[in-house]
Amino acid sequence: MAKKKLVILSGAGISAESGIPTFRASDGLWEGHDVMEVATPQGWKNNPELVLEFYNQRRKRALEVVPNRAHEICAELEEYFDVQIITQNVDNLHERGGSTNILHLHGELFKSRSTADPNLVYEMDGWELNMGDLCEKGSQLRPHIVWFNEAVPLIVPAMELSEKADIFIVVGTSLQVYPAADLINYVPETSLKFVVDLNLPAVPDRKNLFMIQGKATTGMQKVLETLLERKAHL
Ligand code: NAD
């Protein structure tokens, strides 16, 4: 029998226990910066050096940390289900945790992109991207990140995956960033839905919805156990 389709929508909270701070952690600042300065097209226009340095520091940090048990559970679920990750995270901890199908809705930290041609995307070797680093057409490279106020190119495939999910797990996201926050509304009524978060976000009361308050590692363990108990009936 074909494996059931399981979709995981993850956010910054799944990487928190690995040591990467979440965005909305405390004061509306992201690692001490106003997001408008470091994660918008306007910020890039005003001060590209600051933006490049901000992402250089994020890359440096990402190289120092390792995936946690929640990332590993996402990968282990592939043994039982046809798993697709939709992540809002720009780190590569799902890849390093062993997951194979990952859609990065908001871009990837370890890729750079031409400012002249958005189709020119490059894998990065190390952590540094600087002014003067150019694409093959001679234009400045920028981080391959979907900034606030930019379109989300992969939202349509993400919606299509959500519509087909038999099981949908939301983990570690405040559901404050649209259009990602809307994806749960595309999941069929009959599908099983789990929301795992330290501070559970508000989601409309739906059929087959399980809210699990707690850390991503312990919450995902509960999801795994629940799914394995019910597997025969799914
Ligand atoms: P967010 O910061 O808005 O929300 C994080 C959520 O994680 C909150 O609901 C919080 O309660 C929860 N959380 C914190 N620690 C947790 C833990 N240990 N276990 C479970 N839940 C925990 O993050 P978001 O919803 O992903 O949106 C922020 C945006 O910022 C995203 O678009 C993302 O691209 C970007 N961002 C990415 C990273 C990353 O790649 N790791 C980190 C910070 C921000």
Q: What is the DSSP string of 149-185?
A: TS--TTHHHHHHHHHT-SEEEEES--S-STTGGGGGG
Residues 214 and 167 in one domain: yes
- Tell me, yes or no, whether 126 and 168 share the same domain: no
Ligand 1 proximity of 129 Cβ (cutoff 6 Å) = no
Same domain as 132, residue 80: no
Is residue 192 within 8 Å of 207, Cβ to Cβ? Answer: no
Same domain, yes or no, for 138 and 79? no
Domain end (from 126, 145, 164): 145
Return the pLDDT at 28. Answer: 63
Provide the pLDDT for residue 128: 98
Write out pLDDT tens, residues 102-112: 999 999 999 99
Whether residue 25 is found in the same domain as residue 84:
no
**Are 81 and 196 contained in the same domain?**
yes
- How many angstroms separate the CA atoms of 225 and 35, rounded? 38
Ranges under pLDDT 50 in the chain? none
Is the same domain home to 160 and 224?
Answer: yes
* pLDDT, position 23: 78
- What one-character DSSP code corresponds to residue 99? -
Locate the ligand 1 atom nearest the alpha carbon of residue 90 and give its number: 40
Q: What's residue 95's pLDDT?
A: 98
The total number of structural domains in the chain stands at 2
Residue with tokens 């312990």: 218
The residue type of 140 is: Q
Distances (CA, A) of 93 to 63, 98, 133: 10, 9, 26
How distant is the alpha carbon of residue 5 from its chain centre? Answer: 19
Question: What crossing angle do the helices spanning 216-230 and 69-76 adopt, rounded to 10°?
Answer: 20
Q: Which atom number of ligand 1 is nearest to the Cα of residue 145?
A: 34
Report the CATH number at residue 80.
3.40.50.1220
Q: Identify whether 33 is a catalytic site residue.
A: no
Q: Which of 179, 185, 163, 142 is nearest to 41 (CA)?
A: 142
Please indicate whether residue 215, judged by its CB atom, sits closer than 6 Å to ligand 1: yes
CATH code of the domain covering residue 129:
3.30.1600.10
pLDDT of 37 reads 94
What are the residues facing 99 on neighbouring strands? none
Shared domain for 127 and 184, answered yes or no, is no
Task: Quote the pLDDT of residue 234.
Answer: 80
Same structural domain for residues 191 and 118? no
Verify that 125 and 185 share a domain, yes or no.
Answer: no
- Residue-number span of the structural domain to which 102 is assigned: 1-20+67-106+152-234
Q: 118 with 139, same domain?
A: yes
Tokens linked to 75: 């990968």
197 C-alpha to center of ligand 1: Å? 10
Mutate to test the pocket of ligand 1, among 9, 15, 23, 110 (most ligand atoms within 8 A of CB): 23
Question: How far apart (Å, rounded) are the C-alpha atoms in residues 145 and 11?
Answer: 15
Based on the fold, state whether residues 141 and 156 are members of the same structural domain: no
DSSP one-letter string for 14-31 = HHHTTT---TTSSSSEET
